[in-house]
Amino acid sequence: MSAAALSIRGLDKSFGSLVVAKDIAVDLPHGARHALIGPNGAGKTTLINLVTGMLRPDAGSILLGEDDVTALKPDARVKRGLVRTFQINTLFPNLTALEAVTLAVCERRGCAGAWWRQLTDYPEAIDEAHGILTSLNMSESSHRPTHELAYGQQRLIEIALALATRPKVLLLDEPAAGVPKDESAQLFTAIAGLSEEIAVLFIEHDMNVVFRFASRIIVMVAGRILLEGTPAEIAADARVREVYLGSGRHG
Amino acid sequence: MSLPAVADPHQHLAARTRWRAAEIVFWLATLLPFWLAPSYLQLASQIAITAMFALSLDLILGYAGIVSLGHAAFFGFGSYTAGLIAKWGWGEPLTGLLIAGAAAGLLGYLTSFIIARFRHLALIMITLGLGLLLAEAANSATWLTGGADGLQGVRMWSLLGYFAFDLWGYVAYAYALTALFLAFLVMRRLIASPFGLALRGIRENAVRMPAIGAPSQSHIRKAYTIAAVMAGIAGALLAQTTETVSLETLSFQRSADVLVILILGGAGRLYGGIVGAIVYMIARDQFSGINPQYWYFWIGLLLVAVVIFLPNGILGGLARLSASRASAS
């Protein structure tokens, strides 16, 4: 029995008297497709920030496979395979899509520090970046600066950059935020088609999408995990209805 | 840009680093002062030195987005190192240049550990502070630097044992221009490298870099050290070609001037610092000829006009012009 791809144990975080994470424990098995849901302000993005090292927890530990990564810096965690995307586009506006993804590939391969050889001396890195963009149907616009691309394509670059790091665990913070409904289904089809070796945890507000793509759902409320279960269990749970589905969004 | 056929990714990236005809014409034109303006060769060599200094700032500011108001620290440090070596009896120019570059690079490497931790306003204050510290240290260490009188007694040997530095500046300009061209080749290569791409990544989004596994701080330290070496060599060139070093090489004024020059020409464009240096130095020469007291008035006017009408500098304006021409035809 191998350990979970990602284990979060007893994670606490407060800003002054505001508790944003309290005793969070989550196990993400290999190949997971789990959704993290909860009302606004429940602490979902904060949890991703804690897990990826952008925030320091007050207590608790984060294990990637069997390695404790709690003390590592964000870039070191990425090198180990713990990778995130951002709810608000966090891209390289004046780099072309190909340049941006090639950069991420080079950082993973360890050639990004090479200053005496040309980028074109690393054809495998460029091919790999091109391949990632092609797999997301983006090869046609890969030579245009990121800021010129349509919003939906920029959301895809968010994912492309994460894939270029060859993640073992991928945390997607509302990958379809701001994307029209029909396009968001496409986006999630791309996510569902990711390699089975990647464990995915995604934050999403659209319940149709959540129930369609998640094998398990984790519900967070006010910095705590309310419960975790299969979509059927979550849909049947009265507490979830009360805190989230009932008073949540309409339309 | 040809939209219909999707270019091969390798060709697309290779096309960006190819030499253009305009570049070759430009570098050939830098030889013209030898024949057309021999009485201005001293000015021309100062321009080449300033251009190299601006080029070094472009690496950190234009490419990596690291703002510095104290870049003269490395210029001046290189200048004093080269001057002192010559004063103490070793007047060979090329080794002096290398030693000065290495000394400035060491200073850059040491300070880069502080620089890499900060951004934006804090960075401006820190670079400014470090620059002032060094300038005051040089001012008070009169026994070493000559203080406000400047470093006297710098005697250079002939270049390559054959070309003595002449009064008109033939050798000085040839020397400075060659050094500038070599520095430019290094920069050009660096910009087209994976490391150059990583620096642009830091400029474009410092938050995303760690999220793609990039060690931004180590990238910044490396770039800062390389820029310091280049600035130090530029400073050494000034010391060697003028056979004196003044406190002005370390001054805030010089740090501010080089920033103005780079913004004037266009930051992050490789030729921005060179074009900026040419325009700025010639303008200064002409304006100070017209009105020795108030020439900074005209420089100020020029700067405001450029920033309003050409927000990406002179080269940015030219690029926009040629782009709109291309789309019109």
Give residue A245's pLDDT.
55
**CA B325 to CA B329: how far, in whole Å?**
6
**CA B172 to CA A218: how far, in whole Å?**
72
**CA A232 to CA A216: how far, in whole Å?**
9
pLDDT digits (tens, 9 = 90+) for B101-156: 999 999 999 999 999 998 889 999 999 999 999 999 999 988 888 888 888 888 88
- Mutation for A interface: B8, B63, B191, B208, most A CBs within 10 A: B208
Q: Mean pLDDT score of chain A, rounded to an integer?
A: 89
- Count Cβ atoms within 10 A of the Cβ of residue A229 and give its class: 0-12 exposed, 13-18 middle, 19 or more buried: middle
Scan residues 25-54 of B and list those with Cβ closer than 8 Å to A.
none
Q: Decide if B228 contacts B74 (C-beta within 8 A).
A: yes
Residues of chain A in contact with residue B6, where contact means CB-CB under 8 angstroms, are 139-140, 142-143
Q: What is the pTM of this model?
A: 0.91
Q: Report which residue type is found at B329.
A: S
ipTM confidence score: 0.90
Q: Taking CA atoms, what residue in A is nearest to B193?
A: A118
Q: Decide if B10 contacts A126 (C-beta within 8 A).
A: yes
Least confident of A176-190, A233-247, B172-186, B211-225: A233-247
Mean local confidence (pLDDT), A161-173: 94
Mean local confidence (pLDDT), A181-202: 86
Between the alpha carbon of residue A35 and those of residues A52, A61, A172, B278, the distances in Å are 17, 21, 9, 59
Among A133-137, A190-194, B229-233, the range of highest mean pLDDT = B229-233
pLDDT digits (tens, 9 = 90+) for A106-150: 999 999 989 899 999 999 999 999 999 998 888 888 999 999 999
Q: Is the pLDDT of residue B1 over 60?
A: no
**CA B81 to CA B250: how far, in whole Å?**
12
Give residue B16's pLDDT.
80
Taking phi over 0 as left and psi of -120 to 50 as alpha, with beta for the rest, A179 belongs to beta
**CA B294 to CA B291: how far, in whole Å?**
6
Q: Is the pLDDT of residue A20 over 80?
A: yes
Order across the sheet with A216-221: list the strands.
Answer: A82-84, A169-173, A199-203, A33-37, A216-221, A224-229
Q: Decide if B82 contacts B239 (C-beta within 8 A).
A: yes
Residues of chain B in contact with residue A54, where contact means CB-CB under 8 angstroms, are 210
Share of chain B above pLDDT 90, in %: 65
Q: Give the pLDDT band of residue A1 (cuts 50, 70, 90).
A: very low
pLDDT digits (tens, 9 = 90+) for B273-290: 999 999 999 988 888 888
Give residue A96's pLDDT.
94
Q: Report which residue type is found at B169.
A: G
DSSP β-bridge partners for residue A199: A169
Q: Is B222–A104 a contact, with Cβ atoms under 8 angstroms apart?
A: no
Scan residues 85-114 of A and list those with Cβ closer than 8 Å to B.
86, 90-96, 98-100, 102-104, 106-108, 111-114
Q: Is the pLDDT of residue A31 over 80?
A: yes
Between the alpha carbon of residue A223 and those of residues A50, A87, B239, B268, the distances in Å are 12, 18, 63, 44
Give residue B6's pLDDT.
56
Q: Is the pLDDT of residue B59 over 60?
A: yes
Residues of chain A in contact with residue B211, where contact means CB-CB under 8 angstroms, are 52, 74-75, 78, 83-84, 86, 90, 161-162
Residue B9: which of A129, A153, A160, A115 has the closest Cα? A129
Q: Is A95–B200 a contact, with Cβ atoms under 8 angstroms apart?
A: yes
Task: Give the residue, B147 or A162, on which the prediction is more confident.
Answer: A162
**How many C-beta atoms surround the C-beta of residue B319 within 10 A?**
14
DSSP β-bridge partners for residue A227: A219
Mean local confidence (pLDDT), B39-67: 95
Q: Is the pLDDT of residue A2 over 80?
A: no
Between the alpha carbon of residue B130 and those of residues B80, B123, B134, the distances in Å are 17, 10, 6
Taking phi over 0 as left and psi of -120 to 50 as alpha, with beta for the rest, B119 belongs to beta
